[in-house]
Structure 1
Amino acid sequence: MRGPLLCEGRVVVVTGAGRGLGRAHALACAAEGARVVVNDLGVGLDGTPDDDGPAARVAREIRAAGGDAVAHGGDIATTEGAASLVRTALDTYGRLDTLVNNAGFLRDRMLVNLDEDDWDAVVRVHLKGHFLPLKHAAAHWRAEAKAGRRPEARVVNTSSGAGLSGSVGQGNYSAAKAGIIALTLVAAAELGRYGVQVNAIAPAARTRMTEETFARTMAAPAEGFDAMAPENVSPLVVWLGSAAGAGVTGRVFEAEGGRITVMEGWRPGPSTDKGARWTPAEAGVATLNLLAQAEAPAAVYGAVG
C-alpha cells in the first residue's frame, strides 16, 4: 500500500512547464498531491511566439487526471510577469510552497558568430528568468517568516552540464547556466533563515532543446527504459521540492536516466605561497608545478581532441 503523497497540501509553481522537462515536473508534482501553477509563455525553441497554449494544455491534463492546476502565460523574465506568477499561486490557492525554475530556450552559435541579441535573449530567459521568480517568491516567504509563519519553502533551479563544463557552440547558454549555479548558492545562503531551501539540478534528457543532439549521439532506448525521457529527472525535482528534503540546500545534482550525482563544484586544489610578490617568471614556474599536481578539468562538451 502506498504511503503519504510527498507534496500533499503543497502549492508548486513550475516555469517553462508546457513541454519537456517542465511538463514532466508539473505532472509528477501533481501526481504526488501538489496543486500546480503551470507557467509557459508559449514560444518556439528560439523564443519566437507560439500561440498553441501549452500551459493551458498541461493544466487540463493535470485536472483530467484528478489533480488541481492553473495555467499562467506570463513572461517570467519581466518584473510584472514574475510578480504575476507568484500572485497567481497566492490568489488561486492561498499559498506558495515550491518554485521550480525551468524555463529556457536556445540560440546556438560559435562565439565569433554569436550576435549580441542572441547573447542577451538567452541570458535573459535563463538567468534573469530564474532571478525574478526567485526574488518575488522569496519576498513572500520572508514576509511569512517575519509574520511568524515560517514556511517549508523549496526552490529547484535548472542548470545544465553546459553550465558545469561548458559546451562548444553554446557560449551564451553555458554562461547563463553557470550563473544559475552561483545564484543558487547565494540564494541558499541568504534565504535559509526564512525557511527556504534552494538547490539546482543539471538534467540530461531528451526535450525540444536537445532532441537533435541526442538523435545524433545517443543509442536507441533500451526496451522498457528510455534513459533520456524527461520523466526520469522529475522524481528528484519532486523530492527536492517537498518537505521530505529537509536540510538539503545549496547543492547541485546531475540527473540522467537512473543516475543521480552530487556535484562537488569548485574547491581549492594545489596551492603555494611565496610570502612575497612573485616575478612573472616565478609565477609561471609555480603555476606549472601546481598544474602538474592538479586534476585535469572535465572536457568541454563538443570539444575536439
Structure 2
Amino acid sequence: MTKTPDILCIGSVLWDVIGRAASHMRVGSDVPGRITRLPGGVAMNIAMTLRRFSMTPALLTTVGRDAEGEELMGEAIRMGMICDYMYRSDDLPTDVYMAIEGANGLVAAIADAHSLEAAGEKILRPLADGRLGSAETPFAGLVALDGNLTEELLQVIATSPLFAATDLRVAPASPGKAERLLALVGHPSATLYVNLEEAGLLCQSAFETSADAAVALIKRGAHRVLVTDGGKSASEGTAGDIITQTPPAVMVTRVTGAGDTFMAAHIASEAQGMDRAASLTRALNAAATYVSGETPL
C-alpha cells in the first residue's frame, strides 16, 4: 500500500553531472578535478533534504523508461521517496544537468529539462484523477514547486482549482528561469524562495540587501517570500513583517543544490512546528553545512 506523502515535490528529477576543481576557473580553463553523477534536479534535491529531516515526499515528475531513468527511479525509492505518481514516458529520455564548479564558485551549467517541459500537464494527473485529489476535492497540503516547468504550465497552476487548497512553496530553477515565476507572484498561498539576483529579475530592479528585495517582492504582490544572498543576510516575511538573519561563515566547497537545501530545511522546520525565526536559522545552518561539504548529497 502506498504511503501517504507529507509533501509533493513537483518538477525536475534528473541526473546531476558535476565537475569540481579546487582551482579558480575562467572561460577556457582545463584543470584537474573530480566528476560525479548523482540524483539531482530541484524537486529531487528538495526531496533528498526532506528525507534527512524525516519527511516523506512524493515526486510528481517525468522520468524516462531508459536505463538512466530506471536507475534514477531505483535511487529515489531506495532513499524512501514515493515514486508511484511519476509520469513514465516511452519516448522521452531522462533529463540531465551538467555543471562546472571551481574555487570561485559555479563557472557554467546547462540544464537539459526538455522531457519535463514536453510532458507538461501530464505530470499533474494524480492531482486531478482522484489519486491525490481532484478539482472538487483538491490536495490540501504542502507542495514544493520548481521553476523548470514551462511558463505556460506555471500559469495554469497559478489559477488551477487543483492547487486551491495547497501550501505552495516555489523556487526558480535558476536565475535564467526566474521570470517564469511572475505568474505565481499573486498566488494567495505561495511562498517564493529566491536569491537576490532572482528577486531583482522578478522586480526588474537591483537590490543591496535581502530585506530590500523582500519588501519589493511583497509590494509587487507576493504573499510571502524568502530571499537569500549567499553568505550575507537572508530575509523572510509578508507585508509589513520582515525578519532578517545572517548565515554562519563557512568555507564554500560546492554550490549546486544549496538553495534547494535551504528551501527544504525551512519547509521541514515549519512542518515540525518551529517558529519563524527558528525555521530561518535552521535553514541557513543546513545550507551552510551543505556548501561546506559536510553533509553528503
Q: TM-score w.r.t. structure 1 length?
A: 0.42
Q: Which has the higher helix share?
A: 1
Larger relative contact order (CA 8 Å, sep ≥ 6): 1
